[in-house]
Structure 1
Amino acid sequence: MKSKKLHIEYNYDFTLLGLATSAREYKLAWHINSALGVRLVKQQELSVEFLNDREITISHFLFKTEYSTFRLLKNKSLAGAGKSGFLLAELAHFDYLIMINDDGGFFDPDGTLAALKSIPVVEYLASININKLKEKENLIFE
């Protein structure tokens, strides 16, 4: 009997930034709010299930307009949430990930990057090429 496979192609049309800092997430969110003039709001924790029956719970903040979305995601699983792990293990050197989906032109790419780099608690910030990530499917949720 012939079997058929369903192949799904996701559209990764967002900007991904990796951020290293020793600051707590609420303090980092406050700094980002001040630097970018946004209002990041703490959301309910995200539970991400992997194919190997592993599950992690991550914390995140969200700012959303009609056409733009800015997410601050903690890359490491919450401490009391069962097994530890990373949302993107290949980017384990980053404490936080920032996803920017900007169809409305709310965020100027160069201005946003410069404003985030000017935050005093940000130790390192880098733009990440999504197409080179092996675990990029972990970023599809909602």
Structure 2
Amino acid sequence: MQIHSLTLDDFSSTDYSLIGIHSPVEDYRLAYLLNLHLQLNLKRSDFDIDVTKDNIDAFFSLYEFTHNATENSWYLISNYHKNKVAGNNLSLFSESQTVTYLLPERKKVDYFLKLEGDFNSMTINKTIESINKIPQIVTSYSIDTNKLKSKESLIF
């Protein structure tokens, strides 16, 4: 009798590209700007990405769009979650914040644009050029997913 074991790679889609975006704007504003400039229809997902790290529950906002004709999916994902931590003393400044990152090895990236489906390198490069033309975005670039240590966080 043959035994077959499943690994995490059996369930993950390796057919995706990742674009890192640096921008100080809020996630809903960035989704609006990407919709406007890339002719997308990103909408807030019914669920957030929930990750527990160091006994802290972190929720990362997720916007999604699936192009019906090509069946390509676009996901806008926040890379950080701010946690409010109350201090011991009851002063005006006793509350502080800690930040949890979805991909800790990319702490400087504010958002990720995950592209699932049949995207060639020319399409990805044109998308990056269009994103970089948006005034509210500092920069964007392609990220090699093979070099990411915590890419399991991008499986949802």
Q: Please tell me the TM-score bracket, short chain as reference.
A: 0.7 to 0.9
Inter-partner Cα distance in structure 1 for 2:119 and 2:105: 30
Look up the match of 2:80: 76
- Deviation track 1:98-121 (CA, whole Å, cap 9, x = no partner) reads 10113388x922221111111111
Deviation at 1:77, TM superposition (A): 1.5
User: CA separation in 2, counterparts of 1:59 and 1:51?
Assistant: 16
The 5 Å alignment of 1:30-109 reads 30-50=32-52, 53-66=55-68, 67-77=71-81, 79=83, 84-103=99-118, 108-109=123-124
Q: How big is the alpha-carbon RMSD for the aligned residues of Structure 1 and Structure 2?
A: 2.7
Relative distance call for 1:52 and 1:7 in structure 2 (3 A) is: farther
How much identity, in percent, do the aligned residues show? 25
Bigger strand fraction: 2
CA–CA separation in structure 2 for the residues paired with 1:7 and 1:39: 34
Query: Given that residues 45 and 58 in structure 1 are in contact (C-alpha distance below 8 angstroms), is that contact kept between their aligned partners in structure 2?
Result: no
What TM-score does the superposition give when structure 2 sets the normalisation length? 0.75
> Comparing 8-17 with 85-94, which one deviates more in the overlay?
8-17
CA contact (8 A) 2:49 2:61 kept: no
- Report the number of matched residues: 136
Q: What is the CA distance between 1:74 and its match in structure 2?
A: 0.6
Partner of residue 7, structure 1: 7
Structure-2 separation of matches of 1:93 and 1:18: 9
- Determine helix, strand or coil for the equivalent of 2:138: strand
Q: Which runs of 5+ in 1 are unaligned?
A: none
- The one-letter code of the counterpart of 1:71 is Y
* Bigger radius of gyration among the two: 2
